[in-house]
Amino acid sequence: MAIAASVIETLRGIVGDQRVLTDDVSFQQYGVDRTTIWQPAPGVVVLPGSTEEVQAIVQLANIENLAVVPSGGRTGLSGGAVATNGEIVIAMDRMNQVVDFNEVDRTVTVESGMITEQLQVFAEGKGLFYPVWFASTGSSQIGGNIATNAGGINVIRYGMTRNWVMGLKVVDGSGNIMELNRGLVKNNTGLDFRHLFIGSEGILGIITEATMRLTRPPQELSVLVLGVVDFPSIMGVLKTFNDGMDLTAFEFFTHNGMEKVVAHSGVPVPFETKAPFYALIEFEQTSEALLDKAMELFEACVMEGWVEDGVISQSLSQAENLWKLREDMSETLSRWKPYKNDISVNISRMPEFLAKVDVLVANEYPDFEVVWYGHIGDGNLHLNILKPDDLSVETFTARCSGVSKQVAALVQEFNGSVSAEHGVGLLKKDYLSYTRTETELQLMRQIKQVFDPNGIMNPGKLVDAVADT
């Protein structure tokens, strides 16, 4: 759908001529995230420089009955930032500055277009730490992280993005500017709308500023990689280490995935012994006693028959190489255009769940290679089905999506989630009912209706404003 020339001119009057983009290159850049299923087709891309400019754009969109798609770092994997039908894409790239820092409160207020890594660097410069870290930290934006409640590798210790948001400035779907919670630790004055916008995927409005809590940096991090005999044994390793010491991360990956990372990135294998699964454990080694404790726990896992071999980092560079075995997984697998499932169940039920999914996948995709990895410490599994080289993306996607309902049904059977940390967007919208009840879905639609009465904010993503008929 083409946007009227008069609307384009009004947008130029709001943000300036050079910040209204209508060329195909810009549409390809700003109109899609990292999903490859949908082709971007926005009507215009606008790059505002202030909350007031965002407000003016949203107000104009309401007047003209035009849909709006918020665009952050475009690193999402669920189609949440895809514009396919002539929408106004509001890209937050220019709004990337620190607004305020309070060393006493340990909070920093930033514009929502700030890159996550830039916030981490800023915190480090103040002797503090922002702990939400994941593979796209170098390109994702804080606003997008909040809108999808991003997780990552440190959730076992620090929690999700939600845990670090002290306040928000937003423009809702009607064009109202709202300041939510204002950085307060205690604010017991009724409903906290801040938490409605966290994880809302842009369907209620656009986050323009965020006040984020910081903490002390971890000290002397050490990394263990253990070769584990089977997946149930990983649960024993997790319990042993969780009971014995405080962990900052507990990850896992399969041998075939590690082989691909080693070939792609050139990092050394951790040890010669081959194991079907590997556990990566990170902890603060602030004393020799803690190192001794880690070795004691490792030996206990070997005695139980869970672990075949292991290595602990002896230097920062070795720790970084051990982490690459896990963190380079997503980038490495992208060469095979994998069909991804981002799912979670209670930690105690992960072995049974994974076994059932493995049987399902083996039956349905006997000719496809499967790579598992994920955040064991918080029950988050990433199932990656790799596309054979001789199969088109369209055929491969059709075959995999045909079994997605069966995977979702298994998630429902285990009281899990069809989206642990990547959001719902377009990709998982049809499977949301396997995690949420119809009552919950209807309440979500009604909440969207309140904040976005004309239904212009990121339409088609997550839920619609009213029940489908």
Which CATH number goes with the domain that contains 321? Answer: 3.30.70.2190
In a domain, 461, yes or no: no
The H or E element spanning position 261 is helix 255-265
Boundary residue ending a domain (305, 330, 355): 330
**pLDDT on residue 393:** 86
Total number of domains constituting the chain: 4
Tokens 């916030």: give the residue: 119
> What distance lies between CA 32 and its chain's CA centroid?
16
335 contacts: CB under 8 Å, gap ≥ 6: 264
**202 and 230 inside one domain:** no
Co-location of 83 and 104 in the same domain: no
Pair (205, 279) in one structural domain: no
**CATH number of the domain within which 412 lies:** 3.30.70.2740
Residue pair 99/210 in contact by the 8 Å Cβ criterion: no
| Contact partners, residue 430, CB within 8 Å, separation at least 6 | none
The answer to whether residue 466 sits within a structural domain is no
Co-location of 180 and 241 in the same domain: no
Taking the model in full, what pTM does it have?
Answer: 0.93
Whole-angstrom distance, CA of residue 430 vs CA of residue 88 = 24
Last residue of some domain: 330, 350, 368? 330
Same domain, 153 and 209: yes
Whether residue 323 sits in one domain with residue 225:
yes
Q: Are strands 68-71 and 20-21 parallel, antiparallel or unpaired?
A: unpaired
Tell me the two tokens of residue 148. 């999808």
Paired tokens of 380: 């988050």
- Parallel/antiparallel/unpaired status of strands 88-91 and 221-228: unpaired
Asked if residue 408 is part of any domain, the answer here is yes
Are residues 344 and 299 located together in one domain of the fold? Answer: no
Same-domain check for residues 261 and 324: yes
Query: What is the pLDDT, as a whole number, of residue 467?
Result: 47
User: Do 125 and 188 reside in the same domain of the chain?
Assistant: yes
Asked if residue 202 and residue 117 are part of one domain, the reply reads yes
Q: Would 464 be classed as within a structural domain? A: no
Q: Does one domain contain both 408 and 362?
A: yes
183: in domain: yes
Say if 458 falls within a structural domain: no
Q: Which two three-digit tokens encode residue 32?
A: 């899609």
Same structural domain for residues 205 and 238?
no
**Owning domain of residue 61:** 5-91
What CATH number has the domain bearing residue 18?
A: 3.30.43.10
Compute the distance between CA of residue 282 and CA of residue 219 in angstroms, rounded to an integer: 11
pLDDT per residue as tens, the chain (469 positions): 689 999 999 999 999 999 999 999 999 999 999 887 899 999 999 999 999 999 999 999 999 999 999 999 999 989 999 999 999 999 999 999 999 999 999 999 999 999 999 999 999 999 999 999 988 999 999 999 999 999 989 999 999 999 999 999 999 999 999 999 999 999 999 999 999 999 999 999 999 999 999 999 999 999 999 999 999 999 999 999 999 999 999 999 999 999 999 999 999 999 999 999 999 999 999 999 999 999 999 999 999 999 999 999 999 999 999 999 999 999 999 999 998 889 999 999 999 999 999 999 899 889 899 999 999 889 999 999 999 999 998 899 888 888 888 999 999 999 999 999 989 999 899 999 999 999 999 999 999 999 999 999 999 999 987 644 4
- Domain end (from 194, 213, 232): 213
* Residue 48 within a domain: yes
The CATH number of the domain where 181 resides is what? 3.30.465.10
Structural domain contains residue 76: yes
